[in-house]
Structure 1
Amino acid sequence: MAGLVKKFLASASVVAGMSAVFGAPALAVSITSATVTGDHVIYGYDPVQGDLDPGVGTALEALNGPGNVELSGQLGSPYVVDLMNPTTLEVLFDDGSDVTFRSMTWNDWTADLNGDGSGYDFFLQWYNEGISTAGSGLEDFGSSQGAYEAGFAFFTGQGGEYPEVGRFSDPNVATVQKKGNGDISFQLAGHNNHSSGFNFSEVVAVERDGLLLGYVYKFGGPDELATVFDDDPEGSHEGLYNFTITSGGGILSESIPEPSTLLGLMAVGGLVAATKRKSQK
């Protein structure tokens, strides 16, 4: 099944998946600087070992090469992401434009974006897409009402544990380019046959001029495999997921949902409402 990308806009509470071509641009605009504010790990290319190593090079070198910048990540544990204080990566181009990538916060996952007073709007959108996308590794959570509620508690930490959404809130941003037509293409280095069984990118918030363009992610297999790997034995960053920010502010992906995915989203609608009501009690 094709991978699935979604954009959740805070202003309209709308999620859109669209197809696009990701390729090397003609008359590309160059990056002049890449500034990271907050906890992060730079995975840079080590020409001696031929792999990616943490702490090698700069953010600018990583984005222009095979490396990536992990926002809010720290070495040693996936459970140390700061969900209260996001990390930002501001990329400036030589035409004077810029784009900012931000790690996810607890408020991003749980805010009442559609104004119905229930909260968890983005999380539920992400969760329902995950269980409805073949190959994501989340399908079993959609097998029954009990499994669905158990997954809700697991990812949001309602059982008193660290919320698992934290593991997907420290995105690895890679290969940022701006085309001559104003479109900005970028990649997220994410899971491919990860040891957990999960198969999707992490989530990144994309901002421009201080405004949120959307939360960007994709379920299912990656668009391409990385040619240079880091030394993570779990396979956290071996897949590359491709996205494009259009000059008009839309966010595109190479992949679109298949009809069966859309039907699956309709089928779990009742579970969404029931779980949201239960979470308020």
Structure 2
Amino acid sequence: MTGFVNKLALATSIALGMTAIGSTSAFAGTLTNPQFGGTVDTDVLLYCSNGSSTFAGPTCTDSLSTILSGNSSSPGGNIELAASSEQAGFDFTKNTTLTGTIGGKDIVISSLTQSDWMTVLGNGKTLLSQWLDDAFLANNVNIPAILKPVVEVAFTNLNGRQRFSDPNISYVNQNDTTGEISIGLAGHFNVSNLLKDALIPNNPFLATYIPASLQASELVKVVYDNGPAKYLYSFAATASGQINGHGVGADGISHNGNYEVKLAGVPPVVTSVPEPSTMLALMAVGGLFATAKRKSAKNA
């Protein structure tokens, strides 16, 4: 009897250990069932990645799920929303969205329209005014307050809003423990020249205020779980290890920076499934009980 008890204790310990291991395994949730929407659902450009270069066009045949499978360490490809935003004749009243579910909740990721930029935030500022303030503060750009209206007019007239309204989505991931959602935005590691192009041609005196190195992501509008719209952006990039090297629209410099924006999400309910080894251990325990029962019946 003692031998049986010892075997039972060992088998039970192994089974519980295996169960614990199986139940604690976790993974980062990703966007499922991705698809396009918005008022112009075809205004998109898909970029695949070979690890060192992103590329669009006929040779980019990856699925949306594959393109969006990256993370902050390895962003991979990306999907550009409102891809024609910087072209002549672009209708800035329309948007393109990437929709899907993450952790069982709906999420809508959208390009921006001109009305989005004029949205009045809780502090009374428009999104345009707030974003410029944040961009200059984060990059130590000391433009005098008296010139702020001039900057906003120049940025608007030179299509600066359009330049930063077509986000390139690299990934949409969720932390299964905290529920936090991370969205990768492919962009320029240094946007100094882009900002100058959107300010200086008609106002050369502003050039002295723009530093040689400046970081800013494009903006993205996010609606999560049918909640209020949030405008997300970042002023801190990490090197992506790749560039837009060939294919449609290749320029040799885009996508060399990864900007990550985050929003709070609801932790998904994770149902633990015992691993095969756990099942084998539980079967062993069951076998020992069956053996004990037979011996008990035989000795009766």
SS at match of 2:67: helix
Q: Measure, in 1, the Cα distance between the counterparts of 2:216 and 2:105.
A: 30
Alpha-carbon separation, structure 1, partners of 2:100 and 2:253: 27
SS of the residue corresponding to residue 227 of structure 1 reads: coil
Does the 8 Å contact 1:225/1:240 carry over to 2? Answer: yes
User: Secondary structure of 1:98's match?
Assistant: strand
Aligned to 1:235: 253
Give the whole-Å Cα distance in 2 for the aligned partners of 1:108 and 1:148: 20
Structure 1 position 206, deviation (Å): 0.8
Is 1:45 aligned with 2:43?
A: no
Gaps in structure 1 of 5+ consecutive residues: 1-24, 250-281
Q: What is the TM-score with the length of structure 2 in the denominator? A: 0.60
Contact 1:73 1:80 in 2 (8 A): no
Cα distance change, pair 199–236 in 1 and its aligned pair in 2 (3 A): farther
Give the C-alpha shift of residue 212 in structure 1: 3.0
The whole-number CA distance in structure 2 between the counterparts of 1:234 and 1:83 is 27
Instruction: Tell which structure's C-alpha radius of gyration is larger.
Output: 2
Partner of 2:10: none
Cα distance in 2 for partners of 1:234, 1:133 equals 26
The letter of the residue matching 2:55 is D
Per-residue CA distance 1:86-130 (angstroms, 9 max, x = gap): 11001324x5323211001111111334496xxx61111111122
The aligned counterpart of 1:96 is 104
Structure holding more helix per residue: 2
- 1:143 alignment partner in structure 2: 144
TM-score (norm 1): 0.64
- The residue that corresponds to 1:29 in the other structure is 29
CA distance in 2 between partners of 1:132 and 1:115 (Å): 17
Identity of aligned residues (%): 26
Aligned to 1:112: 120
CA distance in 1, matches of 2:90, 2:215: 20
* Paired letter, 2:155: F
Between the aligned partners of 1:68 and 1:43, the Cα distance in structure 2 is 5
Maintained 8 Å contact 2:240/2:258? yes
Unaligned 5+ segments in structure 2 are: 1-24, 71-75, 195-211, 268-300
Report how many residues are paired. Answer: 207
